[in-house]
């Protein structure tokens, strides 16, 4: 069979598998998969350097389907490319515990690099990939030894292009000159509700990207593989600017009636239309999930061979490099363990009592102490380093010409979140963080949620974590945010009480595997607790611990406080004449993971007088204070005034807390 025939047969196999899988599932997105089959074929077979036999090899090109709804395109192509994704899995598209979920999830399916679906996220994740790659290339590459030189390919849809996060990410990608990006915009004029004439006509999409410093090309026909390949080669050669290739396509290409209709975006075509499409493609209309053996050979056979050869070649380059630079090789091996260098725990600073210090200030000191132990930790803030204090001092700025460890994300919180997630997806090599005011966690919440869903190692550092930030007022004062973030499954939210708990909070962040950790740090100073009088800060590693108790045995009342309210609760407890326990509870999620015995020991079930003290909404606290308990909380927006005064007015004084505790004790006793 001629190459041209094999090529068409392969592309049509992707198309028919997409139709059949969606038809079988009774749900899914066939149209875009059908239209982009030639692009996927070209990328996987002729362009990308990847090895289905070892999907994780370090110098593989990475592919992102930002238009995650079209995932059957990727699943079908992975199957035909020889990845570990069987035809059975395609038949189980979107079913319980299949490897072919409704949107791609990177931890579930080999060959999927990131979890996509919320439009725009994949676009920005890819920018994170490129930042990570740039950083690692500068760290390891040496003249005549380009150990890492890979590209990031992404497919984006109209929805991706319209989302704001995409523009944020495109803007910084242009600024940083991320030439490894080769992105495709699937210009099909179709979205869910109809044609793009509804809401997306006037702007010149290409010019918009050019204005962001991108290299933009146009391919007029998504069926023209030659044209696509030519554009890709030009994009690969463009090293200084990210590339966007605008590809005009026709959704549901091949289906006589469904083509160019919005209906084909997200519904099965129906048995008749599937049969008609197959007929039009010269396919047996009754055949289902048909994979001609010559297609498997042409795709999986060739791709595996090319992939293994590419990896072998790279391994030889790695050997030569290791011989030439043995010191670097040691660094490489240490980096790939994905842990800080040995000794880092001992290097965590201990803070002496008497020094009042904002936990953001303590955080800064902790970061500097960790700096030499975490050479591949990179990150930055959304134009708030001046306030969040999050930087590795002297470790350089990440720019178009130098890959320093401090990334100036600009005022782009959402993209920062998604980019940090992308960086964290560079297996084992990099642990990134992103930082801003806690209030603006709202602006990055979609990315935070995906970090938790995707089990990513992202670290979120949010400062100005309560009304205690003061004069900036209620627009900047988080109130519902502690709870809103605790509501995200698999996110650990840590709000340390003082400088020493901040050390522990960073320790939690660096030790955790399997998900992100968020630190909530104060703008205002808090006392550094005298640990000769209260229990060691290491208790924070269990999520909550008994900090102090006035008497022995079972307490009469338990005050459960978090973060910058702990010292006030402690002051209150010290004035009370009852057996009072103060529990510091920096991390609910970690505490919830402790054995029941420990939890009962810290918060005894038999003590019904339990009072929570947190500068945030009361919703949720019943879980720990119980039905009989009470909460000193803020169930309203804050106010613009000096922070101490706002806290005082809203009840966060030792007197008020003590009075509330005494009243509770009386009620419950």
Ligand X SMILES: Cc1ncc(C[n+]2csc(CCOP(=O)(O)OP(=O)(O)O)c2C)c(N)n1
Closer to ligand X by Cβ: residue 28 or 363? 28
Work out how close the CB of 143 gets to ligand X at its nearest, in angstroms, rounded to a whole number: 43
Work out how close the CB of 167 gets to Mg ion at its nearest, in angstroms, rounded to a whole number: 17
Neighbours of 24 (CB within 10 A): 18
Q: Which does 109 bind (CB under 5 to 8 A by kind): ligand X, Mg ion, none?
A: none
Strands 525-527 and 356-358: antiparallel
Residue from 80, 190, 430, 633 touching Mg ion (CB under 5 A): that is 190
Closer to ligand X by Cβ: residue 63 or 398? 63
Question: Which of these segments, 87-95, 182-190, 319-327, 519-527, binds ligand X (CB under 6 A)?
Answer: 182-190
Work out how close the CB of 76 gets to ligand X at its nearest, in angstroms, rounded to a whole number: 15
Strands 557-561 and 580-584: parallel
Residue from 14, 19, 47, 70 touching ligand X (CB under 6 A): that is 70
Q: Assess 166 for contact with ligand X (CB under 6 A).
A: no
Residue from 24, 157, 243, 390 touching Mg ion (CB under 5 A): that is 157
Which residue is it, tokens 């997409």?
Answer: 18
Closer to Mg ion by Cβ: residue 42 or 249? 249
Distance between first and last Cα of the chain: 88
Neighbours of 413 (CB within 10 A): 26
The residue number whose beta carbon is nearest to Mg ion equals 158
Q: Assess 187 for contact with Mg ion (CB under 5 A).
A: no
Q: Which does 650 bind (CB under 5 to 8 A by kind): Mg ion, ligand X, none?
A: none
Closer to ligand X by Cβ: residue 18 or 291? 18
Residue 600 vs residues 139, 212, 268, 548, 561: alpha-carbon distances, Å: 49, 56, 53, 16, 17
Work out how close the CB of 172 gets to ligand X at its nearest, in angstroms, rounded to a whole number: 19
CA 516 to chain centre: 8
Q: Assess 157 for contact with ligand X (CB under 6 A).
A: yes
Q: Which of residues 1-20 bind ligand X (CB under 6 A)?
A: none
Tell me if 129 sits within 8 A of 62, measured CB to CB. Answer: yes
Q: Assess 526 for contact with ligand X (CB under 6 A).
A: no
Closer to ligand X by Cβ: residue 251 or 452? 251
**In terms of C-beta density within 10 A (0-12 exposed, 13-18 middle, 19 or more buried), how is residue 21 classed?**
buried
Which residues form the catalytic set? 413
Rounded to the nearest 10 degrees, how much is the dihedral formed by the CA atoms of 386, 390, 393, 394?
A: -90
Q: DSSP strand E in 298-447: where?
A: 356-358, 377-381, 431-437
Return the SS3 of 631: strand
Q: How many CA atoms, within 13 angstroms, populate the side-chain half-sphere of residue 419? A: 34
Q: Assess 576 for contact with ligand X (CB under 6 A).
A: no
Work out how close the CB of 191 gets to Mg ion at its nearest, in angstroms, rounded to a whole number: 5
User: Which x/- pattern, by CB under 6 A, does the window 259-298 give for ligand X?
Assistant: ------x---------------------------------
Q: Tell me the sheet residues that pair with 194.
A: 191
Q: Assess 250 for contact with ligand X (CB under 6 A).
A: no
Neighbours of 164 (CB within 10 A): 12
Work out how close the CB of 133 gets to ligand X at its nearest, in angstroms, rounded to a whole number: 26
Q: Assess 168 for contact with ligand X (CB under 6 A).
A: no
Closer to ligand X by Cβ: residue 204 or 284? 204
Work out how close the CB of 124 gets to ligand X at its nearest, in angstroms, rounded to a whole number: 12
Residue from 81, 188, 217, 243 touching ligand X (CB under 6 A): that is 188
Q: Which of residues 91-130 bind ligand X (CB under 6 A)?
A: 117-119
**In terms of C-beta density within 10 A (0-12 exposed, 13-18 middle, 19 or more buried), how is residue 366 classed?**
buried
Residue from 20, 113, 133, 158 touching Mg ion (CB under 5 A): that is 158
Cβ neighbours for 102, distance < 8 A, ≥ 6 positions apart:
27, 28, 71, 94, 117
Work out how close the CB of 158 gets to Mg ion at its nearest, in angstroms, rounded to a whole number: 4
Can you spell out the DSSP letters for 239-306? -SS-EEEEEE--TTTT-TTTTT-THHHHS---HHHHHHHHHHTT--TT--S---HHHHIIIIIHHHHH
Closer to ligand X by Cβ: residue 126 or 159? 159
Q: Which does 265 bind (CB under 5 to 8 A by kind): ligand X, Mg ion, none?
A: ligand X
Nearest-angstrom CA–CA distance, 233 and 230:
5
Q: At what angle do helices 3-25 and 271-280 cross, to 10 degrees?
A: 180
Q: How many residues bind Mg ion (CB under 5 A)?
A: 4
Q: Which does 147 bind (CB under 5 to 8 A by kind): Mg ion, ligand X, none?
A: none
Work out how close the CB of 31 gets to ligand X at its nearest, in angstroms, rounded to a whole number: 6
Q: Which does 118 bind (CB under 5 to 8 A by kind): Mg ion, ligand X, none?
A: ligand X
Q: Which does 30 bind (CB under 5 to 8 A by kind): ligand X, Mg ion, none?
A: none
**In terms of C-beta density within 10 A (0-12 exposed, 13-18 middle, 19 or more buried), how is residue 178 classed?**
buried
Work out how close the CB of 267 gets to Mg ion at its nearest, in angstroms, rounded to a whole number: 15
Q: Which does 192 bind (CB under 5 to 8 A by kind): Mg ion, ligand X, none?
A: ligand X
Closer to ligand X by Cβ: residue 82 or 254? 254
Tell me if 243 sits within 8 A of 215, measured CB to CB. Answer: yes
Nearest-angstrom CA–CA distance, 147 and 321:
8
Residue from 52, 111, 122, 159 touching ligand X (CB under 6 A): that is 159
List of residues contacting ligand X (CB under 6 A): 32, 67, 69-70, 117-119, 157-159, 163, 186, 188, 190-192, 251, 265
- Residues near Mg ion (CB under 5 A): 157-158, 188, 190
């Amino acid at each position: 069979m001629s190459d041209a025939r094999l090529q068409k047969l392969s592309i049509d196999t992707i198309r028919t598998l997409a139709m059949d899988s969606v038809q079988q599932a009774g749900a899914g997105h066939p149209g875009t998969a059908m239209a982009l089959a030639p692009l996927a074929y070209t990328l996987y077979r002729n362009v990308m350097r990847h090895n289905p036999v070892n999907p994780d090899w370090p110098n593989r090109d990475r592919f992102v389907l930002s238009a995650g709804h079209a995932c059957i395109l990727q699943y079908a192509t992975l199957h035909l490319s020889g990845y570990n994704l069987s035809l059975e899995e395609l038949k189980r598209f979107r079913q319980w515990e299949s490897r072919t979920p409704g949107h791609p999830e990177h931890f579930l399916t080999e060959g999927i690099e990131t979890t996509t679906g919320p439009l725009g996220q994949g676009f920005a994740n890819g920018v994170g990939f490129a930042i990570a790659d740039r950083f690692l290339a500068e760290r390891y590459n040496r003249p005549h030894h380009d150990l890492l030189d890979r590209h990031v390919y992404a497919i984006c849809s109209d929805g991706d292009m319209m989302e704001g996060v995409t523009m944020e990410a495109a803007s910084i990608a242009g600024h940083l000159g991320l030439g490894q990006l080769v992105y495709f915009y699937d210009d099909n004029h179709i979205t869910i509700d109809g044609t793009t004439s509804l809401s997306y006509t006037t702007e010149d999409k290409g010019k918009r990207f050019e204005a962001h410093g991108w290299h933009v090309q146009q391919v007029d026909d998504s069926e023209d593989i030659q044209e696509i390949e030519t554009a890709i080669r030009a994009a690969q050669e463009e090293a200084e600017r990210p590339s966007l290739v605008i590809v005009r396509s026709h959704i549901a290409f091949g289906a006589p009636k469904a083509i160019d209709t919005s209906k084909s975006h997200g519904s099965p075509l129906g048995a008749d239309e599937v049969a008609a499409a197959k007929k039009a493609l010269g396919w047996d209309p009754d055949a289902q999930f048909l994979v001609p053996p010559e297609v498997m050979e042409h795709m999986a056979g060739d791709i595996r061979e090319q992939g293994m050869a590419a990896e072998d070649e790279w391994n030889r380059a790695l050997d030569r490099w290791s011989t030439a630079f043995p010191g670097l090789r040691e660094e490489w091996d240490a980096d790939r363990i994905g842990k800080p260098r040995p000794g880092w725990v001992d290097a965590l600073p201990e803070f002496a009592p008497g020094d009042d210090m904002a936990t953001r200030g303590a955080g800064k000191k902790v970061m500097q102490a960790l700096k030499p132990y975490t050479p591949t930790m990179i990150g930055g803030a959304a134009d708030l380093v001046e306030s969040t204090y999050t930087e590795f001092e002297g470790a350089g700025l990440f720019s178009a010409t130098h890959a320093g460890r401090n990334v100036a994300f600009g005022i782009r919180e959402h993209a920062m979140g998604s980019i940090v997630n992308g960086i964290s997806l560079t297996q084992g090599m990099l642990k990134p963080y992103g930082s801003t005011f806690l209030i603006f966690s709202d602006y990055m919440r979609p990315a935070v949620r995906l970090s938790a869903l995707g089990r990513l190692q992202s670290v979120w550092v949010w400062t100005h974590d309560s009304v205690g930030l003061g004069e900036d007022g209620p627009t900047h004062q988080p109130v519902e945010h502690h709870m809103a973030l605790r509501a995200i499954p698999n996110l650990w939210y840590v709000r340390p009480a003082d400088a020493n708990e901040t050390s522990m909070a960073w320790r939690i962040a660096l030790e955790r595997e399997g998900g992100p950790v968020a630190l909530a740090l104060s703008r205002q100073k808090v006392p550094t607790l005298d640990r000769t009088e209260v229990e060691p800060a290491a208790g924070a590693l269990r999520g909550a611990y008994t900090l102090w108790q006035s008497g022995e045995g079972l307490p009469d009342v338990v005050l459960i406080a978090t973060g910058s309210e702990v010292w006030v609760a402690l002051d209150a407890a010290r004035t009370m004449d009852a057996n009072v326990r103060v529990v510091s509870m920096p991390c609910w999620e970690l505490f919830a993971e402790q054995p029941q015995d420990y939890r009962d020991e810290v918060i005894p079930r038999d003590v019904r007088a339990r009072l929570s003290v947190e500068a945030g909404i009361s919703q949720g606290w019943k879980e720990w204070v119980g039905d009989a308990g009470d909460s000193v909380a803020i169930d309203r927006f804050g106010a613009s005034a000096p922070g101490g005064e706002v806290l005082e007015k809203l009840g966060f004084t030792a007197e008020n807390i003590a009075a509330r505790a005494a009243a509770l004790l009386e009620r419950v006793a």
